[in-house]
Amino acid sequence: MSQDVADLSCKIYQQEGIALDAEFVCRAGEVLAVVGPSGGGKSTLMRMIAGLTKPESGEIRYGDSVWFSSESGRYLTPQQRHLGYVPQHFGLFPNMTALANVVAALDHIPKAERVARAKDWLERVNLHGLPDRLPANLSGGQRQRVALARALAREPRVLLLDEPFSAVDRETRERLYLELARLKEQLAIPVIMVTHDLNEALLLADRMILISQGTLLQQGSPREVLSRPRNEAVAKQMGLRNLFDAHVVAQEAERQITWLKFGEHLIAGNYREELDIGAKVRWVIPNQGVRFNSITKGRLCRSFNKLSITIESCLSMGETMRILASIKGVKHHLNAEVPLHFAQKMGLAPGVETEVALKSELIHILEND
Amino acid sequence: MDWQALLLSIKLSCVTVLVLIPCAIWAGRFLAYRQFRGKSWLEALIMVPLVLPPTVIGYYLLVGLGSQSWLGQTLEALLGQQLVFHFSGLVVASVLVNIPFAIQPIQRAFEAVPEEVRDAGACCGMSPAKVLFKIELPLVWPGVLTALVLCFSHVLGEFGVVLMMGGNIAGETKTIAISIYDSVQAFDFAAAGQMSLLLLLFAITALALTTSLSRRLGGVSVSRRR
C-alpha cells in the first residue's frame, strides 16, 4: 500500500442517541487530540471516523476521497477506509498470539511477507522476544504496543487512538508517552488521539479539539486553548479555576492592552478591541500566570496586575501545594498551585498575607456566552 | 434393550443438532449484538418451551401440522407426506422444543465477546465472515459446545412431545424414552432398567464433559480476554 498522505476533514452532526456537532480537520503528520469529559461523545466520534458507526449527517473526507457523505449517501466500511485503530482496551484478538495479531492486519501485502513484516513491527515498538505470547500473558504496556504495532503495520491512511494510555499503569504510561512522541516524528499521516487527560494533549498533540456534551467548544494548539479559552465553558473544561468578573476601564490599541478594574485592582489583560468601556467581562488566568516570588523579593514595582491576598488554606498534594486565598476588595478567591518546596521556602501558610503578580500576557478576557 | 429405539433416538438427536446449532449460532449472534424494538418479547418467546409442558407443545404441533389443518395440508402437498406420525415431524418438534437450550448458551457466549475486539477485526480489514470464523467462533466455542450437548441429551430423553407428535411407531417414531415407557407398561422392568441406566449414564457423562470442557475452554477464553 503506497502512503499517499492527505488531510482528514470531518463535519459530523447527530441528534439521535449521542448528540454530536463537530467540524474539524486533522492534517497529515499532525497529532490531533480529542479532549473532553467522559460521555461527551469522543469515542463515538472516533467510531464514526473509523466507519464503525454511521453519523446522521455530515461528511468525512480523506483528501479527495469521500468516506462518508449524507448528501450523496456514500459510506465506506472500516475495511475500505484502511485505517489503524487502537481501542481503549486495545481490542487484541484473545485467541491469537502477539505475532498473529499483527499478521491479521496485513491482508494488504503478499502472504509470504506477512510474518517477517509483523516481526519487524513488533521490534519497532520495542516488543522483543514475545511474538508467541497470547495477549493474556502480556502486561498492559506490552498489549498496548502489540495493538499499536498491529495498527501501524497496516500502513494506515489515518491512525486512531482511543484513550491509548488509560488502561496502563503510570510508569508504563510515562514510557509510552516517550515512545509515541518518538514515533510521531516518523509518521506522516493524520493521527487522532482521544483523551480526557489534558496533560496528554499538552505533551503529545499538535492541535486539540475540546468536546463536551457532543459540542465542539474550541480547537487550536493545546497551549493556545489552555491560555486563551474561548468562553467560560472551555475554561472550566480546561481545569482553569481562576475565573473572575471585572469591568473594562480603558482600551490601549497601541500596546494591545485592555485595562480592567477588578475590585480596587487594575488589571492589564490581552487586548480585545470589540469591548466597550464599562462592559462587564469575565477573565481568566492559568496557574502559571500567578507569581509569588517577584513580590517577596521586592522586584514588582508597577501598580497594576498585583493582588493583595490572604491565604485561607493550603493543601499539599504530593510534590505540589494547592493554595486557596481570598483577594482583598473582591468576593472572588484565587487558586494557585506551587511546588511544595517553594511554598515551604516562601513560608506560604494559612493566615499569611502577601501579594501576587499576574502575568499580563496570560490574562485572557473571555467571550460572552 | 430396544436397540432400534436407541438408534432412532441417536439419529433424531444428531439431525436435530445439525439443523438447530447453525441456526442458533446465527440467532444467538443476532440477539447478542443487535438492539431492536420488541427484543425482550422475542427473547421471552424463545424461552417459552422451557416453561410450557412438552405435551402442550406436542398437542399444538399435532393440531397445527396434522392433516386437518391448513398448514398440515399445505406441507403435505409440498413434501408429499404428513409430518405427524413421521420421523420428519419428530425433527420439527425436537427443533422447536430445543430452541432455548441451543440459543441461550450461544447468545451469552457472543455477548461476552468484547465489541472492541470485533471493531478491531473490521479495522484490520477483515470481512464480517472472517471476523466470525477467525475471532468470534474460537471465543464462543464453549457456548456452542454447551448448546450442542444440552440439545443432544435433551432430544435423546424427550418423551411428551415425541409421543404426541409421533405416536409409537417402531422404527419410525418410537424413541428410547417411549420404549422405556412401553417396557414398564409391559412389566419388563429389566429392559426398562437397562435403558434408563444407559440414559442416566449418558446424561451424567455429557454434563460432566460439558462442564469440564466449558471450564477449560471458558477459562482460556476469559483469561485471554483480560
Please say whether the beta carbons of A236 and A218 come within 8 A. no
* CA–CA distance, A237 with A218 (Å, rounded to integer): 11
- Single pTM value for the model: 0.79
| The three grid cell numbers given for residue A114, joined into one nine-digit string | 506477512
Please report, for chain B, the start and end positions of each structural domain, with discontinuous segments joined by +: 3-225
What is the DSSP secondary structure assignment for residue A283, as one 8-state letter? E
The position carrying cell 471458558 is B218
Considering only the beta carbons, identify the residue of A47, A94, A105 that sits closest to B125: A105
pLDDT tens for B63-118 read 888 777 888 788 877 877 777 778 888 888 889 889 999 999 999 999 999 999 99
Q: Which overall architecture, per CATH, does domain B3-225 show?
A: Orthogonal Bundle (1.10)
3-class DSSP state of A6:
coil
Question: Looking at the complex, does the CB of residue A77 fall below 8 Å from at least one CB of chain B?
Answer: yes
Residue A88 in contact with partner chain B when CB distance is under 8 A: yes
Summarize the confidence of residues A354-363 as an average pLDDT.
88
The verdict on A117 and A63 lying in the same domain is: yes
- Write out the three cell numbers for A218: 474550541
Could you say which of A200, A216, A236 is where a domain stops? A236
Sheet holding A353-358, edge to edge: A290-291, A353-358, A306-317, A320-327, A333-339
Mapped onto helix, strand or coil, the DSSP state of residue A335 is strand
Task: Please give the residue of chain A at the shortest CA–CA distance from B130.
Answer: A104
Is B216 in the A-facing interface, judged by CB distances under 8 Å? Answer: no
Is B134 within 8 Å of A82 when comparing Cβ atoms? Answer: no
Nearest CA in chain B to A154: B124
One-letter amino acid at A144 equals Q
Number of domains in chain A: 2
From first to last of its 226 residues, chain B has per-residue pLDDT tens of 778 888 888 888 899 999 999 999 999 999 999 989 999 999 999 998 888 888 888 888 888 887 778 887 888 778 777 777 788 888 888 898 899 999 999 999 999 999 999 999 999 999 999 999 999 999 998 889 889 988 988 888 888 888 777 777 777 778 888 888 888 888 888 888 988 898 898 888 888 887 887 676 555 444 444 4
The partner residues of A259 in beta bridges, in order of sequence, read A250, A268
The boundaries of the domain holding residue A350 are 240-365
Task: Judge if A134 and A280 occupy the same domain.
Answer: no
8-state DSSP, A289? G
Q: Which residue of B has its CA nearest to A52?
A: B119
- Residue A17 touches partner B, C-beta closer than 8 Å: no
Residue A252, classed as helix, strand or coil, is strand
Cβ contacts (< 8 Å) between A90 and chain B: which residues?
116, 120
Cell of A365: 478576557
Domain CATH number, residue A346? 2.40.50.100
The answer as to whether A98 is a domain residue is yes
C-beta atoms of A95 and B123 within 8 A: no
Please, what is the end-to-end C-alpha distance for chain A in angstroms? 47
Could you tell me if A231 and A259 lie in one domain? no
SS3 label, residue B76: helix
Closest-approach residue (CA) in chain A for B219: A136
* CA distance linking residue A52 with residue A13, whole number of Å: 16
Domain CATH for A153: 3.40.50.300
- Cell numbers that stand for A271 in this block: 487586548
Q: Is residue A2 part of a domain?
A: no
Residue that finishes a domain, picked among A215, A236, A257? A236
Closest CA to A30 of A220, A294, A270, A269: A220
Judged by phi (left if over 0) then psi (alpha if -120 to 50, else beta), residue A73 lies in left
